Amino acid sequence: MAIKKRKHKKLYLNRSLGGNIVINIFLVLIGAFMVLPMVYAVSNSLKPLSELWIYPPTFLPQNPNLSNFKSLFTLMGDSWVPFSRYLANTLTVAVVGTGGHVIISSLCAYALAKIKFPGREFIFQVIVLSLMFSTAVTGIPNYLIMGKLHMINTQWALIVPAFGSSLGLYLMKQFIEANIPDVLIEAAHIDGAGHSLIFWRLVMPLVKPAWLTLIIFSFQSLWGVGATTFIQSENLKTLNYALSQIMAGGIARQGTAAAATVIMMLVPVIVFVTVQSNVVETVATSGMKD
């Protein structure tokens, strides 16, 4: 008991109250600096059009109101395709694409990380190499493949390429290798569990931080997709496309464009805040090492 007290006292004496205060102040300043763009976007959406062109510009609105949002919903309501249709299309693409990407990436990552078969290192090197190519480079091959699969002008033209994103596979494979020891897999095999049972009941709960992080990346990417290349039908286009058309209306629609920016920003921020807390919690409790 005396040893424990001495250890506790030593840890307490090694802490610097002044150092903790400085670190906390620094973190608060960094956090405030990072949140400024979002605050400024919300501020612009609440400004009347006359305040948007004041020089020098003001950070906070002098006469805040919701006129920009009213104008936005009026414009969307006058469109022959209802606002709810654009929103439903975007949610379908984002949710289905994210779910499929997480499941397929996790399955492939488990096979590459824990199942020994010829050529797995070569396959992983090809996956790493594919991370070097931007979407501009892969746009034409994706279009040709979707055309061969007869998926052009369907939402699957946006969902299927999301399933095969190599970033998620890379992240999941590295996380599984680092946090799931081989002895744990071998013990499950000895108990009679197959790969399917091991993956769903053992691996996926332990790599929860990885696939929660992957949900953030994938959802944010798919939420902002424009879909103008693969989809021509107005009924199938996404919310980002509809709002970009409003933003292109010139000076008279700058207030409406600011409101549209806030709407496009709101859902990914909510998803990030919700999932990020779980990531922090699971990182602290589910790490395993050999």
Q: What is the pLDDT of residues 58-72, one digit of tens each?
A: 888 888 888 888 888
Confidence of residue 287 (pLDDT cuts 50, 70, 90): very low
> Domain total for the chain?
2
Confidence of residue 207 (pLDDT cuts 50, 70, 90): confident
Residue 152: both structure tokens together: 């052009």
Instruction: State whether 85 and 193 are in the same domain.
Output: yes
* pLDDT above 70: residue 204: yes
Instruction: State whether 39 and 130 are in the same domain.
Output: no
Q: Which residue has the higher pLDDT, 135 or 150?
A: 150
Q: Rounded mean pLDDT of 121-136?
A: 84
ω into 56 cis (within 30 of 0): yes
Q: Rounded mean pLDDT of 163-177?
A: 86
Instruction: State whether 148 and 222 are in the same domain.
Output: yes
**What would the pLDDT profile of 78-97 be if each residue is shown by its tens digit?**
677 777 788 888 889 999 99
DSSP 58: P
Q: Is residue 185 part of a domain?
A: yes
Report the interhelical angle of 83-114 vs 156-163 (nearest 10°): 20
* pLDDT above 50: residue 273: yes
Instruction: State whether 45 and 180 are in the same domain.
Output: no
3-state secondary structure of 56: coil
* Nearest-5° Cα angle at 138, 133 to 142: 150
**For the chain, what's the residue count?**
290
Instruction: State whether 189 and 47 are in the same domain.
Output: no
Q: Is residue 149 part of a domain?
A: yes
CA–CA dist 242, 260 (Å, integer)? 10
Q: Is residue 114 part of a domain?
A: yes
**Cα dihedral 58/60/66/69 (nearest 10):** 70
Least confident span in 130-139, 151-160, 167-176: 130-139
Confidence of residue 98 (pLDDT cuts 50, 70, 90): very high
* pLDDT above 90: residue 73: no
pLDDT number for residue 96: 93
Instruction: State whether 31 and 151 are in the same domain.
Output: no
- The residue from 68, 83, 116 where one domain ends is 68
Residue 137: both structure tokens together: 């480079």
Instruction: State whether 220 and 77 are in the same domain.
Output: yes
CA–CA dist 37, 265 (Å, integer)? 11
Look at residues 250, 245, 240 and name the one whose alpha carbon lies nearest to residue 53.
250
* Residue 109 · residue 173 · CB < 8 Å: yes
Q: Is residue 28 part of a domain?
A: yes
Q: Which residues form the domain of 35?
A: 2-68
Report the interhelical angle of 208-223 vs 254-285 (nearest 10°): 170
CA–CA dist 221, 19 (Å, integer)? 39
Q: Rounded mean pLDDT of 14-19?
A: 69
Q: Is residue 24 part of a domain?
A: yes
Instruction: State whether 217 and 114 are in the same domain.
Output: yes
Specify the pTM: 0.76
Instruction: State whether 208 and 262 are in the same domain.
Output: yes
Instruction: State whether 30 and 165 are in the same domain.
Output: no
Q: Rounded mean pLDDT of 137-141?
A: 82
Look at residues 142, 71, 98, 93 and name the one whose alpha carbon lies nearest to residue 241.
93
Instruction: State whether 131 and 250 are in the same domain.
Output: yes
Mean per-residue pLDDT over the chain, rounded: 80
- The residue from 35, 52, 68 where one domain ends is 68
Instruction: State whether 121 and 256 are in the same domain.
Output: yes
CA–CA dist 226, 285 (Å, integer)? 38
- The residue from 68, 94, 117 where one domain ends is 68
Least confident span in 246-250, 252-256, 272-276: 246-250
Q: Is residue 290 part of a domain?
A: no
